[in-house]
Amino acid sequence: MLGGADKLVASTDQARKQAWLRKLDPGIERVPAAFNAAGEVNLETLIGARPDVVLMAYGGAVPNWLDAVDSYRIPVVMMPNKSLADLETTARMTGEVLGERESRTAAEYVRYFDENIRRVTQVTGLLKKRELVRVLHTASAGILSVDGLDTVIDDWIRVAGGINVADVVGNARPVTLEQVAAWNPDVIIVGTAPNAQNRQAILDDPRWRQIKAVKAGKVYANPSGAYLWDRHSAEAALQVLWAAKLLHPARFADLDMAKETRLFYARFFRHELTDAEFASIMSATAP
């Protein structure tokens, strides 16, 4: 997004496998994966890439590989990832590390993000408590895990006019189906790839049919583009719009997600979306 892809010398397995990221930056496939899907480092690969700096999202325990990297005198920039404000901080910090041009783009992005939040909250901020939609955001379907409080997900649910029913703290927290039934959400948003398959798994599982959201057919796959829209992602700027329209369709009837998504991709990813590409992003089914 910031225009610094040519400066990337190492990345993660997840980034290299993200279909839309490969479309937007084909060069990502040639960048070595220094981190696996679990976030574990291959120190030989990382040091061999000879990075000037390591950028990492930070939201929990300090990783055990930091001391090893420090011994090679490679600076590590730790960026927060627990809120929408943290995402904006990440954009600014990344721009400052990469250079003057990228920093200008980061500032432009933050202005855009802030405007989207303002656009949503000027409506949702007036809602009465009884009008807020009770939302469960799942991190997987087969093995029950949910995204709780003190997370960027909890933050955009609040901005969009919802209440996160998962009163646990952190991401991907294990829960029982009995606990989900007790929360009994109005809406379920399935937010971990493969989103569409995980959504269908919930709909096909008879144990979930007692849940209010499932009975009402209000189980949705979260959009996924260059990255998962709902997490530590540039597309979180679109997520707040999508979630607001999903939870309060009548109040955001004039919000055209096709138009907004196309404008965002053209402006920040320099890519003109086709109808088929837009549909695959919204359904999280990009090939």
Q: How far is CA 276 from CA 89, 95, 237, in A?
A: 33, 32, 21
pLDDT of res. 286: 76
The pLDDT confidence band at residue 287, using thresholds 50, 70 and 90, is low
Confidence of residue 143 (pLDDT cuts 50, 70, 90): low
* Cα gap 269→109, rounded to integer Å: 11
Domain boundaries, the chain: 121-282
Q: Which amino acid is at 75?
A: P
From the candidate CATH numbers 3.40.250.10, 3.40.50.1980, 1.20.120.1730, 3.40.1080.10, the one assigned to the domain spanning 121-282: 3.40.50.1980
Q: What is the pLDDT of residues 98-127, one digit of tens each?
A: 999 999 999 999 999 999 999 999 999 999
pLDDT digits (tens, 9 = 90+) for 82-106: 999 999 999 999 999 999 999 999 9
Query: pLDDT band at 64, cuts 50/70/90?
Result: confident
The Cα–Cα gap between 191 and 142 comes to 13
Cα dist from 6 to 21, 30, 66, 102, 119, whole Å: 14, 11, 25, 12, 34
pLDDT tens for each residue of 146-186: 999 999 999 999 999 999 999 999 888 899 999 999 999 99
Which residues make Cβ contacts (< 8 Å) with residue 105, sequence separation at least 6? 1, 2, 3, 95, 268
Between 13 and 143, residue with greater pLDDT: 13
Mean residue pLDDT of the chain comes to 93
Q: State pLDDT tens for residues 178-236.
A: 999 999 999 999 987 677 888 888 999 999 999 999 999 999 999 999 999 998 899 99
Q: Residue 61's CB: how many other CB atoms inside 10 A?
A: 6
pLDDT tens-digit series, residues 26-40: 999 999 999 987 778
* Alpha carbon distances (Å) from 83 to 24, 144, 145, 221: 26, 23, 20, 21
What percent of the chain is modeled with pLDDT above 70? Answer: 97
Dihedral of the CA atoms 277, 282, 284, 286 (nearest 10)? 0
Distance CA 186, CA 146 (A): 15
In which residue are the tokens 């000027």 written? Answer: 122
- Please state the three-class secondary structure of 23-74 as a single string: HHCHHHHHCCEEECCCCCECHHHHHHCCCCCEEEEECCCCCCCHHHHHHCCC
